Chains A and B, each alone.
Chain A
Amino acid sequence: MPPLSILLPNRTPNPILLHGRSGILNVCEIFFSLYLCFKILTAPVIEKSMLEIINYLLCIPIAGCCALSTYLWWMREHELPYSWLTEFFIALAIAQMVLIPMGVVAGRYKHSALLLTYIISLTVVTCALGAAGTACMLFSVVLPDEFVPTSNQVHCAAIGRSTSTYHSAANWLLSIY
């Protein structure tokens, strides 16, 4: 009979795989806990104050917009075509600050017209935030393609201008723009 070590080879577990498994297990536990909470509290109790609580949760995107405008504040000092993003994020934060009391009042007093205004305003803010995010992503994709000269371009420029250094070739490329 062959020894047991041959039948069961000593495999070292992949740490990334282990972390992934434990992460999936944790997510499953969270969802199971949420399901239990939902069963214990029941839907009517949760929905009673849901609109009020979700408005308090809107403080997170407000903080996000404020943080983004602070992070991108340096753009205001320069004439960049995407400097408007800073002001845009500030405007979105202010709009969401206005939306919070509106939503709380509409939910508490069950005011139909106010709730409709709230929904329309929220849709506009969501679309605006989506547009800002899309613009950021588009600019981030366009910038490196347009700005960074490829090695072939730099090489051609160096040969064409009879320059020996990378920097002079790159500077010549920049002067074309």
Chain B
Amino acid sequence: MAIIYLLTSTHHITSTLFRQAGAIACSRELPGCCCCDTGVTDDKACPEWSTNEVVQLSVLDLKMAGIVSFLCITYLLGALAVAGRFQNKLQNYKMEYI
């Protein structure tokens, strides 16, 4: 489902990011932007950073987010393994009355 959504929304992503490249550069406080305070919202807000450069930065952000997510998963998998082992021991626990 996620992949279908991703493929169908690609065109929307393209147009959105292209239109907002300057605004994104301003909101990320990229150095050298001249016209962030003038109220311009399209790519003229930060002509120093090209659309391709803003896209590359966004790609880098997403890659970092993906890597950190997968690193965090290792801890969760560890907790899951320990909890499963604990559950298994709890089920095999027997009490004998003498």
Q: Which residues of A contact B87 (CB under 8 A)?
A: 112, 115-116, 119
Cα A119 to Cα B83 with chains together (Å): 7
Number of A-B contacts (CB under 8 A): 163
Max chain A C-beta neighbours (<10 A), residue from B67, B72, B84, B87: B72
CB-defined interface of B71-89 with A at 8 Å, one 1/0 digit per residue?
1110111111011111101
A143 and B63 contact, CB distance less than 8 A: no
Instruction: Known A60-B75, A81-B16; judge A47-B85 contact (CB<8 A).
Output: yes
Cα A64 to Cα B79 with chains together (Å): 16
A115 and B90 contact, CB distance less than 8 A: yes
Closest chain B CB from A99 CB (angstroms)? 8
B10 and A126 contact, CB distance less than 8 A: no
A177 and B15 contact, CB distance less than 8 A: yes
Give residues 117-139 of A contacting B (CB, 8 Å).
Answer: 118-119, 122-123, 125-126, 129-139
Closest chain A CB from B84 CB (angstroms)? 6
Q: Which residues of A contact B84 (CB under 8 A)?
A: 119
- Interface status of B40 (Cβ within 8 A of chain A): no
A130 and B61 contact, CB distance less than 8 A: no
Instruction: Known A51-B86, A126-B76, A139-B6; judge A79-B16 contact (CB<8 A).
Output: yes
Q: Which residues of B contact A131 (CB under 8 A)?
A: 2
Q: Which residues of A contact B59 (CB under 8 A)?
A: 140, 143-144
A133 and B69 contact, CB distance less than 8 A: yes
For A119, the closest partner residue in chain B by CB is B83
Cα A136 to Cα B83 with chains together (Å): 28
Closest chain A CB from B30 CB (angstroms)? 10
Would you list 18 pairs from A and B whose C-beta atoms are within 8 A, ordered by A residue?
Answer: A57-B78, A64-B72, A68-B69, A78-B23, A78-B27, A80-B17, A82-B13, A82-B62, A110-B90, A122-B83, A129-B73, A132-B65, A133-B67, A136-B62, A136-B65, A140-B59, A143-B17, A147-B51
